[in-house]
Structure 1
């Protein structure tokens, strides 16, 4: 018998996140081997009157494919998958990878071809023209990253995924209003003294529509306005490599110096194209149940008391003009147990040590969600 929490999650994805309507095409994109959520989603899509489609991905096969790929090969693959994506009204990705480092030894020039010739084209279409949602799915590998038992991680997963997104969305409205009135942002913390403008750019609340788990409000900096230094205090895995102690220096929007435990690989990624050295997203993490990083972006970027500052492409709904094949959400946690920090909007302190300190934003503190 299927875990009833799986059915509840499938229903949330179909009715709340994608809002599937009769006659719509829904692509279920499964990464990994655990199929129970995909089966539940097929049933829920039918129940909503839609037509489910599915595809199954294996990272070990993707690695074998990328090791000898060419631009012509990736363009051909992208052409096929682009046409399929165009026919979809909704898209859901279930990412339950068994080994997050499976692509670590794929040469950087092949990863660049994959990012530019395939991912950028196919998933640009998904982002701009379908209702989409992306989520992880629990497995022993993820439990190991989180430092828990598999059963303990499953309990954590369903807890953070099935929060009251309606309540969260209401609490986000004052933050959206403040961000859309703000010009200058100043972020301070250990190894960090960063200033930039968000004037004229929209703030987007995320309460379960595109990511599960969810809980963030994002905008983007004015492209050339970022100055100062930023030291991230969480590790991140990107293109199969683990990066830690990332330190970035900015001048007039551009990353002019970047170091980490993998400085050479870091700079190769940032040299993918011109836009990779500029910032496409600034976001505040708000999920009350996510406390610590686990090397998984969809969880880590929602950590309460955190922010992420993203090299690469801006989202269409908050477009600061930055284009890139890269979009790399890297997280800094400002709670006191991670060293603390402050965020100012136009000179006013709005968050200190991960907690909002102005009355209209206090409903977003963890104890109120």
Structure 2
């Protein structure tokens, strides 16, 4: 019940907002718009017919408004590519107008870069085989660099273990996904989650989290 109350409060705050800022001491400093976007909750309450989710529960997430994200994200928790990797050296991602322009760091950064580049070229191979129309292929390729999700972990018992379904729920973290979004207006072949630890989050300038601690 406490988790359900917290997720509802965070979702309410995000649904009434126009913009979100996220910063960390490691260098994350990103702003994005959320107007017209609806926050979704995974609170573990699956009692209603047809309702479902994944476990452990405990997150609020949404698709940033298209072409609004600009700044820097430094992933330092885990990163999901073909499988989930725990990060040994922070992965610095530079974003302009909603899209990644640069990926820097160690071996995990190189793996993310290769993952994105593959998602940029594969749609055109699919188009050649008739599996995608040319315009679809162009959109899928472009959106391989899209920032498709922002989420806030709210489960105090979850830990970063190298499994995205638990990692993204950890209280004191946020996550961003590279690629496809949930609102279906930016489709890609990938949706790769990266975890950011101990963030400071402000919604329309009002603090929501300070260095990983909720200040609702």
Task: Classify the TM-score, shorter chain.
Answer: 0.7 to 0.9
Q: 1:320 to 1:193 in 2, by over 3 A?
A: farther
Q: 1:210 to 1:175 in 2, by over 3 A?
A: same
* Structure with bigger gyration radius: 1
Alignment of 1:330 onto 2:194: yes
For 1:225-236, what aligned pairs fall within 5 Å after superposition? 225-236=68-79
Q: Hey, what does 1:247 align to over in structure 2? A: 92
RMSD (Å) for aligned C-alpha atoms: 1.7
Alignment of 1:269 onto 2:115: yes
Q: Hey, what does 1:278 align to over in structure 2? A: 146
Q: Hey, what does 2:104 align to over in structure 1? A: 259
Q: Hey, what does 1:312 align to over in structure 2? A: 179
CA distance in 2, matches of 1:307, 1:241: 16
CA distance in 2, matches of 1:355, 1:284: 11
Q: 1:167 to 1:243 in 2, by over 3 A?
A: closer
SS at match of 1:211: coil
SS at match of 1:329: strand
Indicate if the aligned counterparts of 1:193 and 1:229 stay in contact, CA closer than 8 A: yes
TM-score (norm 2): 0.79
SS at match of 2:101: strand
TM-score (norm 1): 0.47
Task: Name the one with the larger strand percent.
Answer: 2
Q: Deviations over 1:290-323 (max 9, x none)?
A: 2x411110111011111001101112xxx16110
Q: 1:241 to 1:357 in 2, by over 3 A?
A: closer
Q: Hey, what does 1:214 align to over in structure 2? A: 57
Q: Hey, what does 1:196 align to over in structure 2? A: 32
Q: Hey, what does 2:131 align to over in structure 1? A: none
CA distance in 2, matches of 1:282, 1:327: 12
Alignment of 1:344 onto 2:202: yes
The CA deviation at 1:168 is 2.1
Q: 1:213 to 1:185 in 2, by over 3 A?
A: same
For 1:80-159, what aligned pairs fall within 5 Å after superposition? none
Q: Deviations over 1:114-165 (max 9, x none)?
A: xxxxxxxxxxxxxxxxxxxxxxxxxxxxxxxxxxxxxxxxxxxxxxxxxxxx
The CA deviation at 1:237 is 4.7
CA distance in 1, matches of 2:16, 2:97: 22
Alignment of 1:300 onto 2:167: yes
Indicate if the aligned counterparts of 1:243 and 1:260 stay in contact, CA closer than 8 A: no
Q: 1:237 to 1:199 in 2, by over 3 A?
A: closer
The CA deviation at 1:170 is 3.1
Q: 1:294 to 1:181 in 2, by over 3 A?
A: same
The CA deviation at 1:236 is 2.7
Give unpaired runs (5+ residues) of structure 2.
45-51, 120-140
Q: Which 10-residue stretch deviates more, 262-271 or 213-222?
A: 262-271
Q: 1:236 to 1:356 in 2, by over 3 A?
A: same
Indicate if the aligned counterparts of 1:186 and 1:344 stay in contact, CA closer than 8 A: yes
CA distance in 1, matches of 2:210, 2:152: 13
Give unpaired runs (5+ residues) of structure 1.
1-165, 335-340, 359-369
